[in-house]
Amino acid sequence: MSDSSRFRRHRGNVRSRRSVKALAVPTALALAGVLLTACGARDDATADGSNAVSCVDTSKDTITVGSLHSLSGTMAISEVTVANSTKLAVDQINAAGGVLGKRIELVLEDGASDPKTFAEKAEKLISSDCVAAVFGGWTSSSRKAMKPKFESLNSLLYYPVQYEGLEDSKNIFYTGATTNQQIVPALDYLKQKGVKSLYLVGSDYVFPQTANREIKAYAAANGIEIKGEDYTPLGSTDFSTIINKVRTADADAVFNTLNGDSNVAFFREYTNAGLTAADMPVVSVSIAEEEVAGIGAQNIAGQLTAWNYYQTVDTPQNKAFVDAYKAAFGADKPTSDPMEAAYTSVYLWKNTVEKANSFAVADIQAAADGVSFEAPEGLVTIDGSNHHITKTARIGEIRSDGLIYTVWDSGQAIAPDPYLDTYPWAEGLK
């Protein structure tokens, strides 16, 4: 049996043994999810890199890790700040004494909004810079491009962004939401609010395509009509045709899976067309506080988002995080869900290393289950059977001050179910 098969078999065994269940909520907001790989099947044919020779040097008083995000290109609007929050966590940990007595050295690389570049830079970080772990990625295309590198070279990637699920890897820790922690709670919220029809708009790559397949399956099971579905390449700025189709379709709401700076053009055109949140609300799953500033609050106030964290979350841990981020990068700089997940990733890595008393990949994998961190979003815990973490779902409303305020939350953290094993209506999509 391959290591990857063992990991998946172990995933099922641990779920049964620990009896970890998704949060039970009222029927109208029953949290379920379904996310798909590009081919719609489980990815069991992963490369086995367990015998790969690591060049990580633990003999010195420093340990090297990598940060790999788009510092240029269409995704830079979202990813530059994620790299900043990774640096903030590293700086804080170093100030507190480091990890196992070693100071962290951070190697910064630019994925340039290009999956091929992400793969190349990942290999460089692992094989040339000899990093102990990499914190990086945003789009699912970037993650899928990097995944074979981390598996064949047996290194660790901490991926901080919500994604389409139906994936796990012994070499990846997924610290953003999987679908039962974000997209399906958003759909349940819309259903509770009486939404009977949706128009789907997304960027043309893995995440939006598979998320929309999930949404269509949910809609079919819940009496919601899909009135249209459109995709546009990442970086697109002409939305006149799509907005005209949205307007004439007269759906109750729009579900938006656009990514990057395409959101700026989309919402400006939406506003110019006279569409409003009151008449036809848009629910977005990749717009956070940073993107709101680029779009302009006047173009998006009143619209909804689905995430696990907002700058306005009222916890002592979040206040400390927001204050520290603004002190480091500017009082006018907001925090956001992917930034918070990236920040949390570094601390989860640190806590796992310290539990394992080792920087070795196999030791970290063995120690990961149950490792927790009191994050700005709330307490999060690693599920060692699938390398995802518990998350609290939050629906937010964008206000005129450019911040996002929670209008509904799940009340407590939801256990990850990346393969939607507990949701019968999703069976045909796996």
- Taking only the tens place, the pLDDT of each residue in 338-370 is 999 999 999 999 999 999 999 999 999 999 999
Spatial distance between the Cα atoms of 278 and 398, rounded to a whole number of angstroms: 13
- Average pLDDT of span 105-109: 98
* Collapsed DSSP state (helix, strand, coil) of residue 332: coil
What pLDDT is recorded for position 290?
A: 86
Residue whose C-alpha is closest to residue 82's, from 154, 133, 181, 158: 158
- Taking only the tens place, the pLDDT of each residue in 219-229 is 999 999 999 99
What per-residue string of b and e applies to 66-102 under the rule 16 or more CB within 10 Å gives b?
bbbbbbebbbbbbbbbbbbbbbbbbebbbeeebbeeb
Spatial distance between the Cα atoms of 182 and 212, rounded to a whole number of angstroms: 13
Residue whose C-alpha is closest to residue 178's, from 150, 140, 145, 151: 140
Q: What is the pTM of this model?
A: 0.87
Residue whose C-alpha is closest to residue 395's, from 114, 250, 187, 179: 187
β partners of residue 226: 198
What pLDDT is recorded for position 48?
A: 64
What pLDDT is recorded for position 19?
A: 33
- Taking only the tens place, the pLDDT of each residue in 247-299 is 999 999 999 999 988 999 999 999 999 999 999 999 999 999 988 999 999 99
What pLDDT is recorded for position 6?
A: 34
* Residue 430 clears pLDDT 50, i.e. is over it: yes
Ramachandran quadrant class, 306 (left: phi over 0; alpha: psi -120 to 50; beta: rest): beta
What pLDDT is recorded for position 429?
A: 81
Take residue 64 and report the two structure tokens written for it: 């090297």
What pLDDT is recorded for position 72?
A: 97
Spatial distance between the Cα atoms of 320 and 341, rounded to a whole number of angstroms: 15
Question: Could you give all domains of the chain from N- to C-terminal order, each with its CATH number?
Answer: 3-178+314-329+336-391 (3.40.50.2300), 181-311+418-429 (3.40.50.2300)
* Residue 22 clears pLDDT 50, i.e. is over it: no
* Residue 56 clears pLDDT 60, i.e. is over it: yes
Spatial distance between the Cα atoms of 421 and 410, rounded to a whole number of angstroms: 20
8 Å CB contact between 307 and 342:
no
